[in-house]
Structure 1
Amino acid sequence: MGKYRDDAEKLLEYVGGKENIAAVTHCATRMRFVLNDQTKANEKEIEEIPSVKGMFTNAGQFQVIIGNDVSTFYNDFTDVSGIEGVSKEQSKAIAKNNQNIVQRAIATLAEIFTPLLPAIIVGGLMLGLRNFLEGVPLEALGGQTITQASTFWNGVNGFLWLPCEAIFHFLPVGITWSITRKMGTTQILGIVLGITLVSPQLLNAYSVSSTSAAEIAQNYTWDFGFFTIDKIGYQAQVIPAMLAGFLLVYLERFFRKWIPEAVSMIFVPLFSLLPTILAAHMVLGPIGWQIGSGISWVVNAGLTSPLNWLFGFIFGGLYAPLVITGLHHTTLAIDSQLVADFGTTNLWPMIMLSNIAQGTAVLAIWFLHRGNKKEEQVSVPATISAYMGVTEPAMFGINLKYVYPFVAAMVGSAFGGMLITATNTRALGIGVGGLPGFLSFKIENYPMVFISMAVTIAITFVCTIVFRKVTFLNKLEPQLAADTAAAAAVAPTTVAPTTAAPTTAAPEATQVSEETLYAPADGKVVAITEVSDPVFSQKMMGDGFAVQPTNGTIYAPVAGTISSIFETKHAIGILTPGGAEVLVHMGLDTVELKGAPFEVLVSEGDTVTPETKLAVMDLDAVIATGKQTDVLTVITNAEKVRQLSLTTTGTVTAKTAVGSAELN
């Protein structure tokens, strides 16, 4: 009988039975289901299965978190269900059947902009710093700005324009690259196409409005004799780049299908790239510019009209539900277009406040449930994450679970959005969507930004406490209260035996061991809560830490025995003498790479120490696929861990002690 057979049978029943499963696969930690009817999944019962650590839905897949023993669970599940598993890519393809055309379009848009977010965010922060350096007269400097008073800071300010220009002016290059990456075509062609939209020989998009038609005709045209094409650049333009990128993708797919493979390397790029560049400058660019400008004009008009307060109230309140549907990804393109057309955006400030509201709601839940150690493992890091701009852990881990804090956050965000919009407080660009977001505003806007934050926090916190008492908003806690009362009623019968035999309990309480944790690679040590994958950052898998590696040699983070090596080579299990089950996970979501960038140097049953090389990871190959290279060390049997502490963060070398875990 399989180790997880009973749990697998329960999971099969609670997901709606075999007939409700369109496809099933697994990654390093999760069972991934595509269900024919997700409403048939009994989430409450699934949560009670002992081996289940959590669940969530993403991109049409119902994902159940098992842990690093998921491959064994998966084998038992396929045995009891009689269902043959599929690959992860096949599962994704089948999952699209659960999405309508709008959801598919939004998912595509999200996958295009998500890889660009780190650059866009850091660019917004640097613009905010440049604004402070060159635009804020200080009394201490005799009314001068910092750049006027300091040669050094004037140099810093000028230097920072280099990355800012690369990020925002050359945004079309990132967009066309990301489209080809997402659609699986030749990425270098996407990069070349993007460069042709922002080439220095073109008239800069920001100079078009101040350049006469006569000057454009004389100095900025390609003359083909019987027709001309304007040499107009598309710096910071979003829609022209997207239209051109998709045309390139579909042309490449078409010609690759019909051109013989022997000459495809020459003629597929030629027949794909040149027509796209021509169409981009003759048709797609001008049309896309007008569409993008039209959208940004409509949004800007709504946000600057006499009824802008109403627009801000509605958008501020509904942004969080947009995150659930995925529609929030469309705002990235609109924000970028607003910055391109007007130099600032009045949409992003409301997004910033929505993130703060979600974090505050979780903070209120922590306050109401203080002392609940199990919940604190989720609520504390989720609050910090939301205040730093990442709301998914807060929303899916706490607020949607209880409902009433999610509604309270919507109310707080609505009033905050109304206030910041009514005062026409605009951001210089997209920045960190939480408390550090003030850095993306002009210094003269700081007072209103801080007031809007304070209003959002106060209303959200109070509403969370008030809404807890509203019955139809709080379906979960009354049941929890009943369970607690029932537990209290039986408590005396369980306490009596332990008081009668205290001598047997005392030794167990003192059996504590400690495992030293070592850096598995050269690089930067960070807390596990800073990892971008919510399954790890919310400690659903257990506590631990991560290293952002600078080279690919991976060592054992503890002494012990190799207990498992995943078929896809990206994860290795170690059992320590103290009983800790340690997972070494190389990269995020790297199960999709099917072992290609990894070379495992140990075998199951081997004894290892922090001096032992476990594996080699090809960092360049992982990065080329768009994955992150974080190396995670996680103790997955969380019940064994009394306390885990990191004594070292920041840059370290492999085999250096970075912390310890106190074990029961």
Structure 2
Amino acid sequence: MERKFEDITTAIAEKVGGSENIQSVTHCATRLRLVLNDFEKVKMEEIENLRLVKGAFVAGNQLQIIFGAGLVNDVYRELADSLGYSVNHPSAKTAEESAVKQNPFQKFIKSISDVFIEIMPCILAAALLMGLTSLLTTKGLFGNKTIVEMIPQIAGINRMVSIASTGIFALLPMIVAYSATKRFGGRASLGLAIGAVMIHPDLANAFSVAGGSAKPEIINVFGLNIELVGFQGGIIIALMIGYIVASLDKFFNKVLPDLIKFVLAPMLTILISSILLFTVIGPFGRELGNGLTNGLLWIAEHTGVFGYMLFAGVQQVIVITGLHHTFGAIEAQLLASTNHDFLNPLMSVALVAQGGAVLGYMFLHRNNNKTKEICISAFTSVLFGISEPALFGVNIKYKYPLIAGCIAGAISEAYVYFSKLTATGFGTTGVPGFTIVEPANNGHLNFIIAHLIAVLAGIGLTIMIGKVYEKKIKKEVDKMVKNSPFRQKFHIEAPSGYLNDPNGFSFFNGECNLFYQWTPYMYSSENVWYQGWYHLKGTDFLTWEKLGAGIEADERFATHGAYSGSAIADDDKLTIFYTGNTRNEDWQRIPYQVIATMDKNNIITKRENPEITGILDGYTDHFRYPKIWKNFDGEYYAIIGIQRKNLTGTAVIAHSKDTYNWQILGEIDTNLKNFGYMWECPDYFELEDNGVFVFSPQGLYPQGNDYHNIYQTGYLIGDKIDKNNLKLNEITDFQELDKGFDFYAPQSTSTPDNRRILIGWMGLPEMKYPTEKYGYCGCLTLPRELTIKNGKLYQNPVKEIDKYRKNKIILNKEELKTGISAENSYELQAKFENIKESFTIDLFSNEKHTEYARIKYSATKKELWLDRGNMDIPVNESHGTKRLIANNLENNLTLDIFVDTSSIEIFVNNGEKIASSRIFTTNEERFIFADLKENAGKITYVELDF
């Protein structure tokens, strides 16, 4: 095999944790889909930066890498071949086997939805073409003639359109069998083969047999009479036989010797499947369909309005199975007997009600552009009488729109019953159905009213049920969060959902404003995320008022998230500068740098247009996170992270006199020319007559005891920068700002008393944390005051924490050896002089001292380490369990340790070094152990009252 993409496939395997971490590889029309053993090993940002990759994300249990139509097939073939998989046969552990936990009904619904996802473009195209040919050939829309009769030149085109539109539905059982076989892990070509058997021309057409115009041949097989009738319209039969083909294919490929399986496996699969199709699956499916159909008709005819409502309520459920095609023969019989068809209006309003449900779902998720695209296409199809895109694309997938649509259909059917609405023909519903309405009793007006009721009821019920559903989800999530054993006392955490970068840290209107990146629980969906800002305000950095959502994603310039940014007080308003993230249909990112303002009543207003649009020349689409400040000259500056086209990271400086007209001045000039592939969350400020540049580079590799987290955060100190000087002239090399396991994306602000305060995210992108199963994730660090000493940044807890300190207890060294019981949240102040021996301090320990997080000082190496490898709940162990906090230490050492329920922050030697880390344990009782040897020093336990 010629390998055009070997560099890509090799890199993918390496960046997902090696081939041994890959359970299975499949692909859809545009994306490579990988099921992995351990998602913590995935280097997402590096994957996104690979050649030809348009994006990558995790959805459900799959890592999906977007290449685009056509290209993905070639990449898949090479990757599958390199992993030793058959291109046409998924690996032993399929995505289905590795799926997240679902109940049987959820799995059943998801399986059906998955089968139709791949073929949905075909169905949608056919529906719209069918609608087009219906408009061209229907009388009464534009006078007494059809459009084709009015313009005979288009008759030939209409004929071709008609063939194209009906072709997909004529072969639908074959296409469904193909997709079902593929979905359940078999070779898709075998599904196509059994589908061809279902509609073989030697079989009597099922519709003709049902209408009485054809009689099937009867054959005898081992004493069993079998009718040779085709399976036109047999969608549920196609689903069932697809599952059987896939199961048989996998079975024979597993048990047959390699020498003969290539020939015998497909032959035996098709042979047995065909026999089962004609003897078991087909007859069962037909009887099921006939029973449902005849039962519903009896109810509709004999139970009055309630029968009508019941029929309409479940008619679209029948469509899901494909059994609705049997109604055609019944409608024909009704017309022959009575000259009227009462079923057609019933089916039409039931169908349109599902369209209303789609619109209701779109309203609930109106900020999601991808959802809007799907819903608009599905509703358009419904207008022309085809509900499959609405059913399989939206309503079944999310469940409650289907229920709402069924109820709406039942409500509108009551009007159909009382208005005595009937049709003079059949075979067309929705808008084209208007042309076959019985005109008696104001039929056309009643048709319009009934359909308006169906649409409006579908919209209203979906919104109502959806809000109840989301309230139920929120209530369940709130309960999960409340029951979390990891909830902290003095660290900021989201009420639920995902917290990450601190944003908009600023003083305004006499208060401190702090936002953080927030993705509410259950708001994620494939391809598109709600991601915005959560707003807090306070006066002492430690106690906050929760104001809820601040900056939100929108349908214009932040369709895929209102990303990180900053804020600055500007007279009577707070000016907020952030990145709006958008993605087009090919998953290409389009960044926008957007400004919003907040007034004194906390009302946020976004400007009409972005300040900086799109991608800069010479750079990629990785352009984000502006940090704004006002210089001594009264003019505005912003530093924004960006990636060069050679895939190296940097940051650019933007300048404006009034925050409206921004000019890119150029890159900040540092000595780091090839330092990672992206610089995130840049922050520039002036401190003690120095320029300080803080940023989070991605793509650094471990060097000795440095750079062991997935991504790093550090700083450079140098000259001040302005529009006339972008050169930092740094006096230090890059220094990590925090040496713990979990620290990223810090942001700083200046206080009214001229202190520089910094707060960071105690977490990292792409890492998993135990709180996720309780409906939330992430926390922020304690706010820290920054100072400069000997060319280094020092960080210490803000002085405001002193008022929360209560009782202080000096701990006894001997008692520490055997363990001292502690609260879940406290502070330890330790001071050692003239250290001669190594010592350990163990925190978060159980009473038996078998599980703990250890702080260890080595007297010989003059090093201080943090080790969380002995905890009962491991966290991201693939990136190591030990961190060197400080080295080259003197014989004197001070430690200020803040312990919260599931975190620790260690300040070494008055803030010279810091380590922030998440620590998780299920131990309800926690103990402190310490073996201080003969060292002179003391440890003070400080109670914190939050």
Greater share of helix residues, 1 or 2?
1
Greater share of strand residues, 1 or 2?
2
Find the structure with the greater CA-based Rg.
2
The one of the two structures with greater contact order (alpha-carbon pairs below 8 A, sep at least 6) is 1
TM-score (norm 2): 0.36
